[in-house]
């Protein structure tokens, strides 16, 4: 999606624009879906056809996989890809198992991603953190 105020490309679940700081989806100068410039009074994007008034931005619903469990699995048995099996990423989990977590480097990257909240489950949903 794009910031409707400055047109900056944003991650799909962004709450605030990283560029201008405006709360998404405020603003009316750009289409949130394709980033094309729109007129403030425009109801529909002329390029991609989405409604610009409905604010139907789908925020990804929270996943059901526990963040702490995923993190602990990655730290203790991460080289076997167990945390990837846990979140449903079977394919990359097997790849990780056979490469022993890319000699540990891949596992380390995963641990950092989990710790910073960038790790998603197989549906692309954020991990449950409470
Ligand atoms: Zn912006
Ligand atoms: Zn558009």
Q: Above 90 in pLDDT, residue 115?
A: yes
Average pLDDT, the chain: 89
Scanning the structure block, which residue is given the tokens 């991650």?
A: 11
Quote the ligand 2 centre to 15 CA distance (angstroms).
19
Q: Please check whether residue 40 is in contact with residue 63, taking contact to mean a CB–CB distance below 8 angstroms.
A: no
Q: Which residues contact 98 (CB under 8 A, 6 or more apart)?
A: none
Nearest ligand, measured from the Cα of 22: 1
For residue 20, the tally of other CB atoms under 10 A from its CB is: 13
pLDDT of residue 56: 47
Quote the ligand 1 centre to 109 CA distance (angstroms).
29
Scanning the structure block, which residue is given the tokens 């022993």?
A: 100
Q: Above 80 in pLDDT, residue 13?
A: yes
What are the C-alpha distances in Å from 102 to residues 3, 40, 61, 80? 37, 50, 31, 10
Quote the ligand 1 centre to 34 CA distance (angstroms).
14
Tokens of 81: 């890809």
Nearest ligand, measured from the Cα of 14: 1
Split at pLDDT 50, 70, 90, the class of 54 is low
Nearest ligand, measured from the Cα of 8: 1
pLDDT of residue 49: 85
CA nearest to 69, candidates 104, 108, 121, 4: 121
DSSP 3-state assignment of 114? helix
pLDDT of residue 84: 96
Question: What integer is the mean pLDDT of 51-70?
Answer: 72
pLDDT of residue 92: 95
DSSP 3-state assignment of 2? strand
Q: Which residues contact 76 (CB under 8 A, 6 or more apart)?
A: none
Q: Above 60 in pLDDT, residue 85?
A: yes
pLDDT of residue 62: 65
């Amino acid at each position: 999606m794009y910031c409707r105020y400055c047109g900056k490309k944003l991650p799909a679940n962004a709450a605030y624009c990283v560029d201008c700081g405006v709360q998404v989806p405020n603003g009316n100068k750009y289409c949130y879906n394709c980033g094309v410039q729109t007129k403030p009074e425009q109801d529909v994007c002329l390029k991609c056809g989405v409604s610009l008034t409905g604010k139907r931005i789908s925020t990804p619903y929270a996943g059901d996989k526990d963040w702490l469990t995923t993190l602990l699995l990655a730290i203790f048995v991460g080289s076997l890809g167990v945390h990837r099996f846990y979140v449903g990423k079977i394919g990359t989990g097997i790849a990780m198992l056979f490469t022993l977590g890319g000699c540990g480097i891949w596992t380390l990257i995963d641990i950092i991603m989990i710790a910073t909240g960038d790790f998603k489950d197989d549906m692309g949903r954020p991990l449950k953190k409470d």
